[in-house]
A and B are shown apart, each in its own frame.
Chain A
Amino acid sequence: MPYIPNTDADRKEMLEAIECKSIDELWQKAQIRTPPPALENIPAGMSEYEVTRHLNSLASQNATHLVNFVGSGYYDHLIPAAVGTMVGRSEFYTAYTPYQPEASQGTLQAIYEYQSAICRLTSMPMSNASLYDGGTALFEAIMMAVRITNRRQAVISGAVSPIFREMIRCYSSNLDIELIVVPVKSSKTDSSQGALVDAVTDKTACVLVQYPNVFGTVEEWSDTVEKIHAKGAIAVCSVYPIALAMLKTPGEMGFDIVTGEGQSLGIPLSFGGPYLGFMAVKEKLVRKMPGRIVGRTVDLDGKPGFVLTLQAREQHIRRENAMSNICSNESLCALTALAYLTCIGKEGLLQVANLCAAKANFARDLLLQIKGIEPVGEKAFFNEFVIKLPGDSSEIVGNMIDKGFAAGFPLGRYYSDRKNQLLVAVTEKRTREEIKAFANAMEAVLWS
């Protein structure tokens, strides 16, 4: 039997040792007395070769030939080959949570280095060991702000990912938490910072914004953050980590809690997961932060070592009073992000960001030369931007698929007043030729 080494002789010997004549007798003695289920819908087992062949055939039914311009928070970046090798060490992936530090220094040091990388990227002093994904991280930020301020309202920018906002709505549905979404005019792509500040009252625990925002727009937040603080609320920013290689950091702009989706840091798109949520906070807030945290300390001989710390916040100790119910982080994904940042390196990361921004700029210029395509909103963007098409963008995207392009995300899916708008993302993987072919195909779809 695959993966089960006990032979019939082994089973016989073991059954004798436990004074059972048969497995059936063992089940009886262990209180399992109902008849076994029929399991009619479970097929017979297959060999490794047959399983691989079957999965290969399923994989081939998924389109990977499309030239991709879809982002919306999840990006098609290059992943250095070494990343897979580094993370593929089975001493990492076959280990459990590092509760026994002496047997887990590899994971613990790597997570400490990951926390350091997140702090350095965001210019924040403290990070946790990761959360499930960008959406859950943002929800956890609300809960953290609620604990800190004793207020129970969150003001959320309409330019925060609609996917994240849906998740937040779901998680807060049974909790006494009020969500106020500040909409963005359909002709604009900025976050309506004035309206956001106006929405903050003495009941507001936090303000949630995204940077660059869901439309790709990059905004200065320093003044708004000050105004949020003046009203006694916490400023939370969800970020795209690759963009931070180039952009003014959320730490510099004064945010209290920084979260984000870390998929772009070397983690494959993999049809929606596993991904990586990250969270970094100001020092004074660290004891209210959810999730695991690794700290550096010393051993009995004074030698430096790493250990899970501040565990008194967590569910296995605090039970119903814990900061969160989360007991696993996304350790291997955090390790992947560290491996990616290590391989790409300081210069490489900046280069990736520059490539993305320049190519996106080039793509936008080409698209805007096409008759009927108009710019939408503000000019400063990183690698994603909104254009207005002369028709329903969802239909046009469907036609572009026939031409071999995933042309972008039709915003009408989440914003009913943006039916003709398309959100286009460009990464360092797209070549000049692909971008030109994309613009040509778009022109053909629109006008021939």
Chain B
Amino acid sequence: MELIYSKGKSGRRGSSLPKLDVPDANSIPSSLRRKKAAQMPEVSELEAVRHFTLLSRKNMGVDSNFYPLGSCTMKYNPKVNEKIAAMPGFADLHPLLPQLRRGGALTQGALAVIYETERMLSELLGFSQTTMQPLAGAHGELTGVMLIAAYHKAHGDTKRKIMLIPDAAHGTNPASAAMAGFDTVTIPSDPDGNVDLDALKKELNENVAGIMLTCPNTLGMFDKNVKEICELIHKAGALAYCDGANFNAIIGRLRPGDIGFDVMHVNLHKTFSTPHGAGGPGSGPVGVCEKLVPYLPVSCVAKRSDGTYALEYHHKESIGYIAPFYGNFGIILRAYAYLLTLGKEGLVRVSENAVLNANYIRAKLIPYYDQQHPGYCMHECVFSATRQSEKGVHALDIAKALIDRGIHPPTIYFPLIVKEALMIEPTETESIEDINKFIQVMIDIAKLADENPEAIKQCPLTTPIKRLDETQAARKLDLASLE
């Protein structure tokens, strides 16, 4: 499809702007003016809308396709939440308003949203307080490990420079730890996919700052030793971080703060139904136990005794500003609406059905695909295309075959510790009918892989393009159409 820059023609436009109603004068000398106008598109409004509509039809999304992308929790994004985020009372609100004198009184509704969401998240996670500031999951991780660093620093424990990270962790964990100044040490998994306790014990010493544990883990399993791991970590003077990317599996059923974790992030764009937006914006609030509260980023929203809300900045030990204002407010707002809609009973049903759906798929596909770590799973099940790869059909080929059959592929080749991994997460918002269709397609693909592997290796055939030359993309960089 043509680029937008090749459409339309010189002099055409898609916008109408107010007429100039003041003298046509300004203070910019000609030496500071740009010589040639920026070459933006010159299209009518219809051409603009049609271009975007046609582009959108080349995408798979949750609204159009089953999307069992493991670890990403591609649940339905309720439409009412989009309408709420667009309400002018929220969308048009300047973030500096509450920082002006008498401005706080004019933003009480927005401050209430942040405060009430924070309170509900703290309750669900089992923590004292939650910062709503982090702008994404990885940003939440970074915030969390920075809090751990601040805690040790405040206690004069400056030699604690090591962050322990299990080998099944998300790749963001080691990268986040490095950005907070830590060296990372990898802890292997045992044959069941749990953290190898003996290996962990060997690494524990007075240089360890903490552990970053994904719970449930990236194999879709709940590590039965989590409580013991937290105890071992605490005994060594370190802190336990929970990567809450998989919180959808346990929401309403188990609170990480209750089993020994000290700090944790959640992804509002996963568990709390806000859209992924094709790669952001997300939001990654971080909950902490009492002893980490003094280090939380500024600002926090507090409720005064008269029932009004106010921004608080004066935390002497705070790590400072991780975001320009109060977090991704538009995303927090959607999550707030979601929490209010589901309520206590609904949130408990979320994890129950997410776990039920995943186990149902697991049970139905066991005869057709190998599992490196068998057993009951949480909200996602991880298979291995090892049987199929003997015929030359790899996880990537299965992914492409699914695309041809109208299904977005599961996460592939992750976790790294599983060969030919296929990580399937249906979420609670899919019906049994659609889940059954997916199961049947997976069975059909397994059979085809056995009978006619070549047919799968040619997939996809129904998409706007076939498989792309990624080597050329990296070697002969073409990143922009310049004027």
Contacts A96-B276, A339-B52; is A106 near B57 (CB within 8 Å)?
Answer: yes
Q: How far is the CB of B41 from chain A (nearest CB, A)?
A: 5
- Indicate which residue in A48, A61, A98, A352 contacts B278 across the interface (CB closer than 8 Å): A98
Q: Is A60 an interface residue (CB 8 A)?
A: yes
Question: Is B250 a contact of A32 with CB atoms below 8 Å?
Answer: yes
Per-residue interface assignment for chain B, residues 358 to 380, with 1 indicating a CB less than 8 Å from any chain A CB and 0 otherwise: 01101110000000000011100
A102 B465 Cβ-Cβ under 8 A: yes
How far apart sit A271 and B90, CA to CA, in the bound complex (Å)?
7
Given contacts A273-B135, A341-B41, A346-B42, contact A86 B52 (CB under 8 A): yes
Structural contact, B276 and A18, CB atoms closer than 8 A: no
CB distance from B243 to the nearest CB of A (A): 12
Interchain CB contact under 8 A, B275 and A94: yes
A51 touches B42 (CB 8 A): no
- Chain A 99-112 per-residue mask, 1 if CB under 8 angstroms from chain B, else 0: 01111111101101
Residue-by-residue, is B239-283 near A (CB-CB < 8 Å gives 1, otherwise 0)? 000000000001011110011000000000000010111111111
Is B276 a contact of A61 with CB atoms below 8 Å?
no
| CB atoms of B29 and A380 under 8 A apart | yes
Task: Check A133/B259 contact, CB under 8 A, given A91-B59, A358-B22, A428-B17.
Answer: no
A109 touches B55 (CB 8 A): yes
- Given known pairs A30-B378, A55-B84, the reply for A295 and B474 (CB within 8 Å) is yes
* Interface flag for A230 (CB, 8 Å): no
Residues from 339 to 396 in B contacting A, C-beta threshold 8 Å: 339-350, 352-353, 355-357, 359-360, 362-364, 376-378
Say whether B473 contacts A296, CB under 8 Å. Answer: yes
Contact B89 A52 (CB under 8 A): no
Cβ–Cβ contact A343 & B466, under 8 A = no
Stretch at the interface among A146-154, A318-326, A437-445: A318-326
Q: Name B40's contact: one of A218, A247, A344 (CB within 8 Å).
A: A344
Contacts of B429 in A (CB 8 A): 3-5
List of B residues within 8 angstroms of A127 by Cβ: 479-480
Residue contact A68 to B94, C-beta cutoff 8 Å? yes
Given A48-B80, A432-B21, also A13-B432 (CB < 8 A): yes
Q: Decide if A94 touches B276 in the complex (CB within 8 Å).
A: yes
Proximity string of chain A (117-135) to chain B, C-beta cutoff 8 Å, 1 when within and 0 when not: 1111100011101101111
Contacts of B483 in A (CB 8 A): 120
* CA A330 to CA B83, docked complex, whole Å: 20
| 0 or 1 for each of B111-151: is its CB under 8 Å from A? (1 = yes) | 01100000110011010000000011111011000100100
B179 within 8 A of A: yes
A320 with B25: CB separation less than 8 A? no
- The reply to whether A106 and B172 contact each other, CB–CB distance below 8 Å, is no
Q: B-facing mask of A264-278, CB < 8 A → 1, else 0?
A: 000011111111000
A13 to B69, CA, bound (A): 24
- CB pair A91–B378 under 8 Å, yes or no, is no
Interface centre among B25, B280, B376 (most CB of A within 10 A): B280
Bound CA–CA A348/B414 (angstroms): 46
Whether B329 sits at the interface, judged by CB under 8 Å, is yes
Q: How far is the CA of A157 from the CA of B470 in the complex (A)?
A: 41
Asked if A106 and B59 make an inter-chain contact with CB atoms under 8 angstroms apart, the answer reads yes
Q: Is the CB of A295 within 8 A of B473?
A: yes
A273 with B90: CB separation less than 8 A: no
The answer on a CB contact under 8 Å between B72 and A170 is no
Minimal beta-carbon separation of A183 from chain B (angstroms) = 19
Asked if A120 contacts B178 (CB within 8 A), the reply is no
Q: Is A303 an interface residue (CB 8 A)?
A: yes
List CB contacts (< 8 Å) of B10-47 with chain A.
Answer: 11-15, 17-18, 20-29, 31-35, 37-43, 45
Question: What separation, in Å, do the CA atoms of A236 and B107 have in the docked complex?
Answer: 35
- Are B120 and A303 in touch, CB under 8 angstroms? no
Are B344 and A361 in touch, CB under 8 angstroms?
Answer: no
Q: Per-residue CB proximity of B326-343 to A under 8 Å, as 1/0?
A: 111111010011011111
Collect the chain B residues with CB atoms within 8 Å of residue A134's CB: 324
* Bitwise interface map of A from 374 to 417 toward B, beta carbon under 8 Å scored 1, else 0: 00000111100000000000110110011000100110010000
Q: Cα distance A170–B482 when bound, in Å?
A: 36
Give the docked Cα–Cα distance between A104 and B468 (Å). 12
Answer yes or no: B443 CB below 8 A from chain A CBs: no
B327 touches A272 (CB 8 A): yes
Chain B min CB distance to A418 (Å): 15
B320 neighbours in A (Cβ, 8 Å):
166-167, 169-170, 173
Which of B97-105, B199-207, B286-294, B445-453 lies at the interface?
B97-105
Does B27 contact A342, Cβ atoms closer than 8 Å? no
A249 neighbours in B (Cβ, 8 Å): 34
**Which B residues lie within 8 Å of A210 (CB)?**
none
B254 touching A34, Cβ below 8 Å = yes
Query: Which chain B residues numbered 52 to 76 have a C-beta less than 8 Å away from chain A?
Result: 52-53, 55-65, 67, 69, 72, 74-76
Contact of B101 among A54, A170, A350, A397 (CB under 8 A): A397
Q: A102-B403, A309-B473 are in contact. Are A132 and B278 (CB under 8 A)?
A: no
- A82 proximal to B (CB < 8 A): yes
Q: Which of A41, A45, A74 contacts B96 (CB 8 A)?
A: A74
Report yes or no: B101 in contact with A269, Cβ–Cβ below 8 A: no
Contact of A39 among B18, B124, B431 (CB under 8 A): B124
> A244 near B: Cβ within 8 Å?
yes
Q: Shortest CB–CB separation between residue B184 and chain A, in angstroms?
A: 5
Alpha-carbon distance A59/B359, docked complex (angstroms): 41
- Identify A51's interface contact among B275, B340, B460, CB under 8 A: B340
Bound-state CA distance A315–B184 (Å) is 14
**Which B-chain residue is minimally distant from A76 (CB atoms)?**
B94
A11 neighbours in B (Cβ, 8 Å)? 353, 356
Q: A62 on the interface (CB 8 Å rule)? A: yes
State whether the Cβ of A194 lies closer than 8 Å to any Cβ in chain B.
no
Q: Which of B87, B138, B348 contacts A59 (CB 8 A)?
A: B87
Q: Interface segment, A184-192, A195-203, A286-294?
A: A286-294
Provide the bound-state CA to CA distance between A113 and B64, in Å.
24
Q: Does B88 contact A (CB under 8 A)?
A: yes
Residues of chain A with a CB closer than 8 A to B346's CB: 1-2, 4, 45
Interface residues of A in 315-368 (CB under 8 A from B): 315-322, 324-333, 335, 338-339, 341-352, 354-355, 357-362
Residue in contact with B135 in the complex, picked from A100, A132, A312, CB distance below 8 Å: A132
Given A2-B346, A6-B356, answer yes or no on A431-B327 (Cβ-Cβ < 8 Å).
no
> Considering the chains assembled together, what is the distance between the CA atoms of A277 and B400 in angstroms?
33
Residues of B within 8 A of A27 (CB): 253, 355
**B330 touching A268 by the CB < 8 A rule?**
yes
B340–A133 CB distance below 8 A:
no
Chain B: CB-nearest residue to A9: B432
Given the known interface contacts A5-B429, A133-B323, A348-B15, the answer about A31 and B222 at a Cβ–Cβ threshold of 8 Å is yes
What does the 1/0 interface line of A414-441 toward B look like (CB < 8 Å)?
Answer: 0000000000000010011001000000
In the assembled complex, the Cα of A269 lies from the Cα of B4 at a distance in Å of 27
Q: Do A2 and B63 contact each other (CB < 8 Å), given the known contacts A27-B253, A348-B15?
A: no
Q: Are A44 and B90 in contact (CB under 8 A)?
A: no
Question: Once the chains bind, are B355 and A26 in contact (CB under 8 Å)?
Answer: yes
Q: Is the CB of B403 within 8 A of A320?
A: no
Please measure, in the bound complex, the distance between the C-alpha atom of A109 and the C-alpha atom of B99, giving whole angstroms.
40
Asked whether B97 lies within 8 Å of A406 as measured between CB atoms, the reply is yes
| Other-chain contact of A315, B86, B175, B376 (Cβ < 8 Å) | B175
* 8 Å CB contact of B53 from A89, A116, A246, A272: A89
Given contacts A3-B78, A42-B344, 20 further A-B contacts (CB under 8 A): A4-B429, A34-B254, A43-B344, A62-B110, A70-B94, A76-B94, A85-B49, A86-B53, A89-B56, A120-B38, A134-B324, A245-B34, A271-B326, A273-B325, A316-B170, A333-B277, A345-B43, A357-B27, A362-B22, A397-B101
A-B contact pairs, 29 of them (CB 8 A): A15-B356, A20-B359, A31-B221, A45-B340, A45-B341, A45-B345, A70-B100, A84-B86, A91-B59, A94-B64, A102-B460, A115-B479, A125-B480, A173-B146, A175-B179, A246-B34, A268-B92, A269-B93, A270-B330, A272-B324, A299-B466, A309-B479, A319-B175, A325-B138, A325-B178, A341-B40, A344-B14, A349-B40, A406-B97
Enumerate the 8 nearest inter-chain pairs by beta-carbon distance, A residue then B residue, closest first: A59-B89, A45-B343, A272-B325, A332-B277, A398-B101, A174-B181, A274-B281, A170-B320
